[in-house]
Structure 1
Amino acid sequence: MLRSRSIRRPLTGILLLTALTAPAALAGAATTATSVTITDPASDVTTNGGAPHPVPESADLLVTGVTHGTHDVTFVARVAGGPHPLEDAARVEDWSWISWRVDIDGDADTDLVVYARVEDDAYVGEVWHHNADQATCSGTVAYHAATFTTSVKVPRTCLGSPAEVRYVAVNRYTFLEPGTYYEDQSPDQGPPGSLAVLSNPAARTRIATSLSSAVSASSVPAFSKVTVSGKLTRTDGGAAVTGQKVTLQRRPTGGSFATIATTTTDSKGNVSFTIAPTASASYRLVHSYAGRTGPGFDSATSPTRTIDVTAATDDNPACAAVPAVTFPDVAGPPHGDAIGCVAGYGIAKGQTDGTYQPDADVRRDQMTSFLARTLRASGVELPANPKDRFSDDNGSTHELAINQLAELGIVQGRGGDRFSPANPVTREQMASFLIRTLEVILEQDLAPTGPSPFTDTAGSAHADNIDVAAQLDIAKGRTATTYEPTQTVRRDQMASFIARSLRVLHAEGVKLTPVS
């Protein structure tokens, strides 16, 4: 049943008539205020259902438009005469409206609908996104009575800050009985949903850009700091491209490009990344067009730059900082320098007879003490009273270290409350022990940045940590493609693993101090 309603006075606030002027020629970015208007033929209203009433002039769209401001987008519709659908007591409130079907991603399909209607004697402006079951944003409705013009102003963020808008306006005027509505669509051309009218014409064509790149060094020792820089510029010579996202991508030898870092251009369009490469790789900068969130700058990819890394060198500045400790049973390469280094930091200790026993396997309980001293040498304060996690290490001289590392998440046991302290450490376990230790010290997660170099680690619970250790040049394969993850680790090999880990920490700026 139709509710009796009195004709309301126009809302306070007059629609800016600039919304109905011809579009201005633009040379700036997409946020520059601009408008587009469409003139619709008079007397082209369609009738649906019975037609007991003459076609109201207020059902006939004459002009529709969209005006872009820096912070808002205003949708405009002018009809032939009154009473206006939003002011007429004869219409059905819930089934009459003015709406704009809007495309914001350039595919000519409706992404959202902007409505102007009356509900409970109040103007309502709403934005409904595609597939939403309720309004996702509100707008401000204004009505200019002298020109029968209605507008809805919505924040640009309601639309995802698009660089461009395609739209079709629809005016529906509904009578309750006998179920008749009058509808006019503007523009009329094209099938429903074509959304061919483009507002903000300055952003219709993406602004072409170019992206340069440079590296501060093309050949460096492993872990040396290298700067990768570039500049994003407009090819038309326009203003600096500021605040645009640029990613740094890395391609290892034989691999594919993957993003390793992201930043935004500064006030001059410049970007800069600092890296410490551990293996030779190629690098490039990439800017991607973000039509829904950016001002329309087109995609650009920089030239590729290659950085050759002399990863085979055993030069270790972390080890050069402490006097090496010698043992009578350590003869030199390949692990002699590393043994002297970790012993110099107090991380590894010799036997009671003064020897090191380099060929002996490293036990799991011994490994926790090596790692606990590495943490202390890196300035990490270990838990003073950790929970007793395991039942099979009671009485061990390494029990405190085992519990401290368990509390830090570095060791996880062998299931239940068992640690298996006397079992030898395997190469895959060593990788996880070391990478988790680095994560605690550096306070960051470490993950592989490229494909695995090894063919025999797939399915291992430690595969990711093995790959990270290899990429950081901490762990080396037995061959170019095999790691032999289940082989045990000797005491001399353990020293090399830890010495290379110290090199990583030194490169990251961690202050290393010998411990007792």
Structure 2
Amino acid sequence: MYLAQIQVVTAGGKTVELTKVSENCYTFVQPRGAVTVSATFLPLSGGEERIFSDVESFAWYAEAVRFVVEQGIMQGIGGGLFDPNGVMNRSMLVTMLHRLAGEPGGGTASFTDVSAGIWYSDAVAWAASAELTGGYGDGRFGPTDAVTREQVAALLFRYAQLQKLELAADQSVPDFSDTASVSGWAKEAMDWAVRTGLLSGKNGGILDPLGTATRAEVVAILMRFSQSTVEAE
């Protein structure tokens, strides 16, 4: 069960302001006179328990987190944490795609900032050899550099082409207020990602193509991708 709603009301019908301390824990300043505390508890979806202490079972990304973990595509950061709001970086993203592809070998690319044998070295070599992504032209890959939403879309677009996968592109593209900020090289991929339902806008009617992608956003996108792809004829 989880706490879905809690409300504190005075005898006069006034709602008392609550301060959230943690999940299922709230405090309030006791007003004069009696108050009525009412709470609504709901069962966890499917009776499933939380697999990370920082991923609430009813969070919008909880199902996606469970999916990528169960599929062996992504893991937590240790200590029982997933860090859903943490930044997604280049090494994490190519590793996820490498695992999704079945961890193929054969990559020969090397970079000055990717040590041999480090946990993401095979994934980086594969991604570069498959031309999913490259380095910066000075011999670096930038494994810890954050990725933007348009970069995520571009890598998935190239991955779908590499694996000859198709997604139904039956959604219209909303008129986002910041569409003009999409980089020229990413326009086709972003249009594809929106039309196929992989990527959606944010509050305020923006697409935020240059915004940094979080771990939660990426696992949600990857789950949609995995569940929507079919092999091309």
For 1:389, the equivalent position in structure 2 comes to 110
Separation (CA, whole Å) in 1 of partners of 2:217 and 2:207: 14
Partner of 1:487: 211
Q: Per-residue CA shift, 1:192-228, capped at 9, x if unaligned?
A: xxxxxxxxxxxxxxxxxxxxxxxxxxxxxxxxxxxxx
Give, in angstroms, the shift of residue 412 of structure 1: 2.1
The count of aligned residue pairs is 182
**Aligned twin of 1:372:** 98
Aligned counterpart for 2:187 among listed residues 418, 443, 463:
463
Q: Which residue does 1:400 correspond to in 2?
A: 122
Cα distance change on mapping 1:390 and 1:449 into 2, 3 Å = farther
1:476 to 179, 196, 200: 200
Shift of 1:428: 0.9
Q: For residues 359 and 438 of structure 1, what CA distance do their matches in structure 2 show? A: 26
Counterparts of 1:337 and 1:405, CA distance in 2? 27
Judging changes above 3 Å, is the alpha-carbon distance between structure 1 residues 420 and 345 closer, same or farther for their aligned structure 2 residues?
Answer: same
Query: Is 1:363 matched up with 2:89?
Result: yes
Aligned pairs (5 A) from 1:42-441: 326-331=51-56, 332-376=58-102, 382=104, 384-395=105-116, 396-441=118-163
Which range moved further: 496-505 or 411-420? 411-420
Tell me the distance in 2 between the aligned counterparts of 1:419 and 1:388.
Answer: 10
Could you tell me how far apart the structure 2 residues matched to 1:509 and 1:447 are? 14
Q: 1:74: which partner in 2?
A: none
**How far apart, in 2, do the equivalents of 1:429 and 1:412 lie?**
12
Say which SS state the counterpart of residue 180 (structure 2) adopts: coil
* Matched residue type, 2:221: F
Task: Report the TM-score when normalising by structure 1.
Answer: 0.32
Q: Is the 8 A contact 2:198 2:224 kept in 1?
A: yes
Deviation at 1:467, TM superposition (A): 1.0
> How far did residue 424 of structure 1 move?
0.8
Paired position in structure 1 for 2:24: none
Shift of 1:405: 1.1
Sort the Cα spacing of 1:366 and 1:413 in 2 relative to 1 into closer, same or farther, 3 A: same
Residue pair 2:165, 2:231 contacting (<8 A) in 1 also: no
> How far apart are the structure 1 equivalents of 2:74 and 2:138?
30
What is the match of residue 10 of structure 2? none
Picking from 223, 226, 229, the partner of 1:502 is: 226
1:391–1:417 CA contact under 8 A, matched in 2:
yes
User: AA paired with 1:434?
Assistant: L
The structure carrying a bigger strand percent of its residues is 1
CA distance in 1, matches of 2:191, 2:49: 30
Check conservation: 2:132, 2:159, Cα contact below 8 A.
yes
Q: Alignment partner of 1:430: what SS?
A: helix
Structure-2 change in CA distance of 1:404 and 1:398 (3 Å): same
Question: Counterpart of 2:162 in 1: which secondary structure?
Answer: helix
Higher normalized contact order (CA 8 Å, seq sep 6+, divided by chain length): 2
- Specify whether residues 443 and 338 from structure 1 end up closer, same or farther in structure 2 by C-alpha distance, changes over 3 A only: closer
Structure 2 regions of 5+ residues with no counterpart?
A: 1-45
Per-residue CA distance 1:122-170 (angstroms, 9 max, x = gap): xxxxxxxxxxxxxxxxxxxxxxxxxxxxxxxxxxxxxxxxxxxxxxxxx
Q: Following the alignment from structure 1 to structure 2, what is the Cα–Cα distance between the partners of residues 364 and 397?
A: 13
Q: Return the alpha-carbon distance in structure 2 between the equivalents of residues 324 and 387 of structure 1.
A: 42
For 1:422-469, what per-residue CA distance to the aligned partner results, in whole angstroms no more than 9, with x for missing partners? 111111111111111222222579999976743234443212101101
TM-score normalised to structure 2 length? 0.68
**CA separation in 2, counterparts of 1:324 and 1:431?**
31
- Cα distance between partner residues in 2 of 1:495 and 1:463: 22
Report the equivalent of 1:231.
none
Q: Which runs of no fewer than 5 residues in structure 1 stay unpaired?
A: 1-319, 511-516
Shift of 1:498: 0.6
Letter in 1 for 2:80: G
Q: Secondary structure at the match of 1:420?
A: coil
> In structure 2, how many angstroms separate the alpha carbons of the residues matched to 1:412 and 1:435?
15
358 and 416 in structure 1: CA distance in 2 versus 1, 3 angstrom threshold? same
SS at match of 1:464: helix
Give RMSD over aligned pairs.
Answer: 3.0
- Give the SS at the match of 1:461: helix
1:468-498 CA deviation, whole Å, 9 max, x = no partner? 0111110111247421111111111111011
Paired letter, 2:110? R
Q: In structure 1, how many angstroms separate the alpha carbons of the residues matched to 2:107 and 2:211?
A: 31
Which protein is richer in helix relative to its size? 2
- Classify 1:394/1:452 alpha carbon distance in 2 versus 1 (closer, same or farther; 3 Å): farther
Q: Which amino acid aligns with 1:385?
A: G
Deviation of 1:502 (Å): 0.9
